[in-house]
Structure 1
């Protein structure tokens, strides 16, 4: 993974969250500084009860995915790849005090589960970003890994996301805050996507490509599936929609990428998504 480390001379805006010669993880909440303690409720961590810089200050890579078991397996894989002491089989879940998420640390790599859907990953990201900020981490790269529904690509393909789009194929994340609709940009780090694509050329077991990822609020009707408890469209309308998505550059569909892109971009995290392809769209193209 060393080949995708951000350049050491990258810097961000000159504010209190910027460390000289480093790209910092910053928060955009003026109320945090006035808090006696910042409790990361769903990670079972806090700024008083834990020494976050000592625990996490060396983190350079964060990999997040939906399934707790998958992220534990990924952490064990990284343990072997980094040739750390021990076999990694008894790796500790740092968030064991809560049943919301799991977190494993292997050297400079943090592996975290985020559950399913925008609300679940959003909660995790709020607390993860604050964790990295409190730990004074710099030059952090974050990658969402997982499976997704592919559109017009071969089974077994891996899609590296350059831009997350909504169900209208627009690069935006819309969220209702108080009684306002707030729209945020969802472009991801294109250089990171290219770096990952270049790394993939050393692996010949599966095809890899860069494309747009469409994020939906639902696994069934929202993803044009015909096998849910409800279905309000015809097979013909489904295929027409997927063809228009493909023409717009969409190569896969999932349920977290827009908020992931929006939050990481606002907080100074170099980010992209990396997806394996499920086969439930094999009838398309």
Structure 2
């Protein structure tokens, strides 16, 4: 059973140290900073002591999924929390949940761009105040596939918007700003190599379409409102496939943009729950969906173990 110290030493040696960037000059002038949605703050918490050893961050939609992940990765790394459960560090709020096992932090982000954006602002500041360096961040989740069998895992090359452009649109002071949504190519290739080593499920690299909505925004026919035909829906999804899109979700664009701005090495790893070219509703048995949802965790966990020198 590896100790936390042994795991941390391996993490420190994993690669050259790189600093986190927080492009906000106003933070320097602040004497205190309250990370409101985490129920954490610089006047009440010793960030370097609590989080200074973090090298890997894994984020996903639901609190229960991120609790499952931290339990899984702790077991994989041989981290024993004294026989106790891993507590929710953000128990003082019901907005997000956060768990930690050695150098791995697991955080929920809710559903959609606004929710994950709020979380990422506070997470990046948390890592900055903790003096973390050489941090790799993963978003794991579920998605709708395009032209892929259900259960396939997509490692995102670029996040594209609903017009298939690789950009994130942000309105700031009434003006539209466009930000790049490329993800780290080397990290994506490392994940693909891990997928080959695992050899347990189909894994591909492709573009991920990030939408603002689950129904009309993703060309579904089963929402409360729908103004287009099935033929128009199919034309759109096939155009997305031709543009290199292999899955659809609702968080990857702002995730990629904020990784680029802050210097975080990031990857998006999502499993497909259905092939949208064959339908809109998820009717796969619950136990099968549970197994699908573990696949991104297994892939990311395998890479983390490799980085830490663990078999």
TM-score (normalised: structure 1): 0.91
**3-state SS of 1:219 partner:** coil
Partner residue, 1:173: 168
Partner residue, 2:38: 43
Shift of 1:124: 0.1
Alignment deviations for residues 225-284 of structure 1 (CA, whole Å, 9 cap, x no partner): 111000111100110001110010000000000000000110010001000101151517
2:107 to 104, 107, 112: 112
Instruction: Check 1:121–1:5 CA distance in 2 against 1; reply closer, same or farther (3 A cut).
Output: farther
1:226 to 214, 221, 228: 221
Partner residue, 2:150: 155
Shift of 1:8: 2.8
Partner residue, 1:91: 86
Question: Retained in 1: the 8 A contact 2:207–2:244?
Answer: yes
Question: Retained in 2: the 8 A contact 1:167–1:214?
Answer: yes
Shift of 1:178: 1.2
**3-state SS of 1:246 partner:** helix
Alignment deviations for residues 28-64 of structure 1 (CA, whole Å, 9 cap, x no partner): 1111111110110001111111000010011000000
Question: Retained in 2: the 8 A contact 1:6–1:139?
Answer: no
Instruction: Check 1:96–1:47 CA distance in 2 against 1; reply closer, same or farther (3 A cut).
Output: same
Q: Which runs of 5+ in 2 are unaligned?
A: 1-6, 280-311
Q: Which runs of 4+ in 1 moved over 4 A?
A: 1-7, 86-89
Question: Retained in 2: the 8 A contact 1:4–1:192?
Answer: no
How many angstroms apart in 1 are the aligned matches of 2:136 and 2:256?
Answer: 12
Matched, 1:8 2:15: yes
Aligned pairs (5 A) from 1:178-197: 178-197=173-192
Q: CA RMSD in A?
A: 2.0
Shift of 1:202: 1.6
How many angstroms apart in 2 are the aligned matches of 1:240 and 1:6?
Answer: 50
How many angstroms apart in 2 are the aligned matches of 1:122 and 1:76?
Answer: 25
